[in-house]
């Protein structure tokens, strides 16, 4: 996982709430058995509409995705953050996220930033008005800065540390291997096995 510290770039505003993972990456594209290459299918159905904002060349190269509340609801498919990352985004800003999606993002190296609805609105409007609007997301200091806006965002210390260091969860857990083994010794014998 790529470490995340300070991300600076322009933003793609997707002004919709309850964007589900079937919209982020439709199921017909889930058949690939690789982790990469999902970027071109991001918002697969919506992007067929030439007026959908992702098709506006002025937003090409954006590294921040801004969206409405409850972003990433629905299916647990990690293909959703894979597609977002593959399309060049490192940060998603929204008033709220669905749990599994948020969690998946932090495993992939995409930073989910939750800001108050008014601040997201202000960023959304700024990016809609001027595609050149630059947004700085500073993970170590938990701060989002844009013209006329400075706001801190919440993230738990552990997740922030993992993202800043680009650490692999499995490696961390394997440090507790002894505890896993001793827990296993206490499990009831009647628990089912395959």
Partner 1 sequence: MAQTLAQKVWERHVVHRAEGEPDLLYVDLHLVHEVTSPQAFDGLRVHGRAVRRPDLTVATMDHNVPTTDGPVTDRISATQMDALSRNAADFGITLFPMGAPGQGIVHVIGPEQGYTQPGMVIVCGDSHTSTHGAFGALAFGIGTSEVEHVLATQTLPQQPANTMAVNIEGDLPAGCSAKDIILAVINTIGTGGGVGHVIEYRGSAIRALSMEGRMTVCNMSIEGGARAGLVAPDETTFAYVEGRPHAPRGGDWERALEEWRTLPTDDSAVFDTEVDIDAAALRPFVSWGTNPAQSVTIDDVVPDPESFVDAGRREAAHRALTYMDLAPGTPIRDVRPDTIFIGSCTNSRMEDLRVAAEVVAGRRVAQGLRALVVPGSFAVKMQAEKEGLDRIFSDAGFEWRGAGCSMCLGMNPDTLNPGDRCASTSNRNFEGRQGRGGRTHLVSPAVAAATAIAGHFTTPGDLPAKEA
Footprint of partner 1 (CB under 8 A): 16-18, 20, 22-23, 26-28, 30-35, 45, 68-70, 73-79, 81, 96-100, 103-104, 107-108, 156-158, 169-170, 172-174, 176-177, 179-180, 183-184, 187-194
Are 143 and 152 in contact by the 8 Å Cβ rule? The answer is: yes
Nearer to partner 1, 81 or 131 (CB): 81
* Residue 119: CB minimum distance to partner 1, A: 15
* Residue 177: CB minimum distance to partner 1, A: 8
- b/e sequence 5-32, b meaning 16+ C-beta within 10 Å: eebebbbbbbeeeebebbbbbeeebbee
Say which residues have a Cβ less than 8 Å from residue 124's Cβ, sequence separation at least 6.
13, 15, 66
The token pair at 33 is: 């058995």
Say which residues have a Cβ less than 8 Å from residue 37's Cβ, sequence separation at least 6.
86
Are 156 and 111 in contact by the 8 Å Cβ rule? The answer is: no
Nearer to partner 1, 100 or 128 (CB): 100
Nearer to partner 1, 12 or 155 (CB): 155
Nearer to partner 1, 70 or 145 (CB): 70
Pairing relation of β-strands 6-14 and 134-138? antiparallel
Nearer to partner 1, 33 or 132 (CB): 33
* Residue 89: CB minimum distance to partner 1, A: 17
* Residue 11: CB minimum distance to partner 1, A: 19
* Residue 134: CB minimum distance to partner 1, A: 26
The token pair at 59 is: 């937003």
């Amino acid at each position: 996982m790529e470490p995340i510290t300070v991300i600076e770039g322009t933003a793609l505003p997707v002004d919709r709430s309850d964007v589900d993972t079937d919209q982020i990456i439709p199921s017909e594209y889930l058949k690939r058995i690789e982790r990469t290459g999902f970027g071109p299918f991001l918002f697969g159905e919506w992007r067929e509409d030439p007026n959908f904002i992702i098709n506006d060349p002025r937003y090409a190269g954006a590294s921040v995705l801004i969206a409405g509340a409850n972003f990433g609801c629905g299916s647990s498919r990690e293909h959703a953050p894979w597609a977002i990352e593959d399309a060049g985004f490192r940060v998603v800003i929204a008033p709220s996220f669905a749990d599994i999606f948020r969690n998946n993002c932090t495993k992939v190296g995409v930073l989910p930033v939750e800001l108050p609805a008014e601040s997201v609105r202000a960023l959304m409007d700024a990016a809609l008005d001027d595609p050149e609007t630059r947004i700085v997301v500073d993970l170590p200091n938990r701060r989002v800065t844009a013209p006329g806006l400075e706001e801190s965002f919440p993230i738990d210390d552990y997740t922030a540390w993992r993202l800043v260091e680009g650490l692999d969860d499995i490696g961390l857990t394997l440090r507790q291997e002894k505890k896993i083994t001793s827990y296993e010794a206490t499990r009831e014998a009647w628990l089912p096995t395959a």
